[in-house]
Amino acid sequence: MSPKTLYDKIWDAHVAHESEDGTCLLYIDRHLVHEVTSPQAFEGLRMAGRSVRAPDKTIAVPDHNVPTTLDRAKGIDNEESRIQVDALDTNAKEFGINYYPVSDVRQGIVHIVGPEQGWTLPGMTVVCGDSHTATHGAFGALAHGIGTSEVEHVLATQTLIQKKSKNMKVEITGKLKPGVTPKDVTLAIIGATGTAGGTGYVIEYCGDVIRDMSMEGRMTVCNMAIEGGARAGLIAPDETTFEYVKGRPHAPKAGQFEQAVEYWKTFYTDEGAEFDKVVTLRGEDIQPVVTWGTSPEDVLPITATVPSPEDFTGGKVEAARRALDYMGLTPGQKLTDIEIDTVFIGSCTNGRIEDLRAVAEVVKGKKIKDGMRAMIVPGSGLVRAQAEEEGLADIFKEAGFEWRLAGCSMCLAMNPDQLAPEERCASTSNRNFEGRQGYKGRTHLVSPGMAAAAALTGKLTDVRELM
């Protein structure tokens, strides 16, 4: 047999039917559902008199619209948001799928809840009507976002009509320097490849830097595969993965767990397997980074200065000019001179316990800058509970942060957590698009430690100076 990549192996293990032209029906092991991209899909089922084929493999949780303030038990003020969350409540009950309502302590961002509850396991196929489904690739699961028509298709048939993507390898060699985090790694990759560099590919991340990362860090890296244009990002499962999965509510139980691990261990890229594209970065070369523009590829080390449109070629010249205008920045300005008025820490990129620990390390015993609006939104109710147990929440509150309930919050600002026009935010989220965090709001993507540092100083700051 010819050598296979990790992606090839997961793909081959899930082809339920293949047509002559190579179009496949790919079987889906886990279907995650949230309130924004699913109502039309459930409505479609209802109209056609169809049911959910595998309700036991379907997991729903509201996250995008939910308020994160402590008084959210009183309900959602915005009528449209409330209708959307109510629709998910109704659909989950009517179709009999697994459900974590807003009132459940396990509720949170769908991509944090899935792994936390052990729904996401190595070697699986995982889909969700959300582009950041790529997160689950950290487990060696083929995971990607789908549109609402495909959500309906998976609900009805537990399969997706797919053609295979190409294989891309991103290797990060060596070791990271102090102050450099998985967020910097994933942004640095996008900076190197561009936001369309992964289009048409599934990326496998490998190399010593990836091997040394925790599951939380690996999820951060895979989460932003989509920002690099790739449908999915993958990391081969190893002992770190198995250790994380073990004992979680929906992970295989004792006895079956050992059998599962033996199976999971077959998911790695064979010696000699071919990739269509290979990118290699040296871990030692990666610095703490920040985005200056309105595309995640607009990445620079924090020590750099704001670029000029003339530094680019082709269509990027005009895009850079527009971005600088939108962001209110001047070419040549030092990134560390950019003043910040808002800090957002959370999201499916950086809303896990390890991210919160990194923030606590920077802000412990200190105060955020006067007038700074700084909020920490844990990725799930369980992350929040753990942070409270570890004493992190007290550190945050003493430093002046708002300590919120779980949800997507200001990552995409569908709930009341938004930037006002021209407000400038250091954000641990994943997209700095125009208007993403609020109409005319300005976003700088950073790691949790860098966001914490900016909250203290009021400017974009090199976290290494505070360590």
Partner 1 sequence: MEKFQKLHGVAAPMPLVNIDTDMIIPKVFLKTIKRSGLGVNLFDEMRYDRDGNEIADFVLNQPKYRNAEILVAGDNFGCGSSREHAPWAIADFGIKCVISTSFADIFFNNCFKNGILPIVLPQEQVDLLMEDAERGENARITVDLEAQEITTSDGRVLPFEVDAFKKHCLLNGLDDIGLTMKNVSAIDAFEAKAQAERPWV
CA 108 vs CA 60, 97, 305, 380: distances in Å:
10, 17, 37, 4
Percent helix / strand / coil, the chain, rounded to 5: 40, 20, 45
Is position 150 an interface residue for partner 1 (rule: CB under 8 A)? yes
- Among 8, 9, 11, 65, the residue binding partner 1 under the rule CB under 8 A is 65
Contact at 8 Å (CB) between 235 and 264? no
Which one, 80 or 274, has the nearer CB to partner 1? Answer: 80
Is position 336 an interface residue for partner 1 (rule: CB under 8 A)? no
Is position 16 an interface residue for partner 1 (rule: CB under 8 A)? yes
23 three-class SS: coil
Contact map string, positions 101 to 130, toward partner 1, x by CB under 8 A: --------------------x-xx----xx
- Among 69, 173, 199, 333, the residue binding partner 1 under the rule CB under 8 A is 199
Is position 136 an interface residue for partner 1 (rule: CB under 8 A)? no
Contact map string, positions 427 to 446, toward partner 1, x by CB under 8 A: ----x-xxxx--x-------
Which one, 179 or 438, has the nearer CB to partner 1? Answer: 438
Contacting range for partner 1; rule: CB under 8 A; set: 82-90, 94-102, 235-243, 453-461:
82-90
Is position 322 an interface residue for partner 1 (rule: CB under 8 A)? yes
Contact at 8 Å (CB) between 105 and 186? no
Is position 58 an interface residue for partner 1 (rule: CB under 8 A)? no
Least distance (Å) between residue 132 CB and partner 1: 8
Exposure letters 352-366 (e unless 16+ CB within 10 A, then b): bbbbbbbbbbbbeee
CA 462 vs CA 82, 102, 303, 337, 349: distances in Å:
40, 37, 7, 11, 20
Contacting range for partner 1; rule: CB under 8 A; set: 32-40, 234-242, 376-384, 452-460:
32-40
**In Å, how far from its chain's centre is CA 180?**
18
The Cα angle at residue 27 between residues 24 and 30, in degrees rounded to 5: 145
Is position 460 an interface residue for partner 1 (rule: CB under 8 A)? no
Which one, 153 or 373, has the nearer CB to partner 1? Answer: 153
Residue 100: HSE in the Cβ half-sphere, 13 Å Cα cutoff: 29
Query: How far apart, in whole angstroms, are the C-alpha atoms of residue 115 and residue 241?
Result: 11
Contact map string, positions 353 to 382, toward partner 1, x by CB under 8 A: ------------------------------
CA-only gyration radius of the chain, Å: 21
Is position 23 an interface residue for partner 1 (rule: CB under 8 A)? yes
Query: Total residues at the site for partner 1 (CB under 8 A)?
Result: 81
Kind plus residue range of the DSSP H or E element containing 160: strand 159-162
Contact map string, positions 241 to 280, toward partner 1, x by CB under 8 A: ----------xx---xx-xx--x-----------------
Is position 413 an interface residue for partner 1 (rule: CB under 8 A)? yes
Is position 420 an interface residue for partner 1 (rule: CB under 8 A)? no
Is position 218 an interface residue for partner 1 (rule: CB under 8 A)? no
Contact at 8 Å (CB) between 345 and 450? no
CB neighbours of residue 341 within 10 Å = 18
Is position 299 an interface residue for partner 1 (rule: CB under 8 A)? no
The dihedrals phi and psi of 377, each to the nearest 5 degrees, come to: -120, 100
